[in-house]
Amino acid sequence: MTPDPSPWPPRIIAWAVVLAALPLWEVLRRLGGVSPLLMPPLREIAVALLEALRGGALAEQVLTSLGFILAGAAIALVLALTAVLLSASLRSVAVIMRILGALLHPLPGIVLLPVIVLWAGIGPAAVLVVIVHSVFWPVLTNLQAGYSAIPLTWRLVARNYRLGGLGYLVRIALPATAPYLLAGLRIAWARAWRALISAEMLFGSVSGSGGLGWFIHSRRVFMDTAGLFAGIVTVMAVGSLVETVVFRVAEDRTIRRWGMTL
């Protein structure tokens, strides 16, 4: 017999665990006699976060990082869609993409940074290359799986209604592959967010105000540990917000509305 589900949503439980763990930080810091430079009090972290938000610099840097993510994701999505369409039409392209995927998909974007620095220098182009690499492969893999999983019945219906080209993509392929695409974008978002923060911390400021990674890097250089942890909290908060809000809205507007999930 399946146990009764918990009356509390999983996200509320997760946040309750996080909030319950906060006092543990203070207990460990005080009992262990740890220097505030290593483990600042929670109050100082909160003050540093509020000051950064009040000044507007942190919000601007978050928007800069998200702008890089959106630009790189858009480029990667176009490339992935093109690769899937070519793979569906040309067997040779499908074989090549399968081989490249096996070689490059497991490769973390951060590993490519030394090569990217040689080829693209240190700047926005290098960061975009890292993001495109991080987004392209999971999106491509999931789109290929979704396209291959289109039911034969749907294909026959499209043939009977003489749907081809754009009509087939919009009415058949897009609804059928939407769950796979969103799953790929979830994976791609996590990979791209980590790669972006790492690249910004390594490259430094690659734009006018720098991104969130630059905010963390600059706080580390000046031994502003409270500000550093405030930046880490912001990274987690933005990641959680995108995961729980943006993707949920996308699911409600697409696969749930189209009846693609139970």
Say what percent of the chain tops pLDDT 70: 89
Q: In angstroms, rounded to a whole number, what is the distance separating the alpha carbons of residues 10 and 12?
A: 5
pLDDT of residue 209: 62
Q: In angstroms, rounded to a whole number, what is the distance separating the alpha carbons of residues 98 and 7?
A: 44
Task: Determine the distance from the C-alpha atom of residue 57 to the mean position of all C-alpha atoms in its chain, rounded to a whole number.
Answer: 22
CA distances from 148 to 60, 152, 172, 256 (A): 42, 10, 12, 21
pLDDT of residue 51: 92
Per-domain boundaries in the chain: 54-253
pLDDT of residue 11: 64
- Return the CATH architecture of domain 54-253: Orthogonal Bundle (1.10)
Within the chain, which residues score under 50 in pLDDT?
A: 1-4, 262
Q: In angstroms, rounded to a whole number, what is the distance separating the alpha carbons of residues 124 and 196?
A: 11
The DSSP secondary structure of 19-33, one letter per residue, reads: HHHHHHHHHHHHHTT
pLDDT of residue 2: 46
CA proximity to 48, closest of 185, 206, 222: 222
Q: What is the DSSP letter of 5?
A: P
Task: Give the phi and the psi of residue 101 in degrees, each rounded to 5.
Answer: -65, -40
pLDDT of residue 262: 45
Rg (C-alpha) for the chain, rounded Å, is: 22
CA proximity to 140, closest of 85, 190, 92, 103: 85
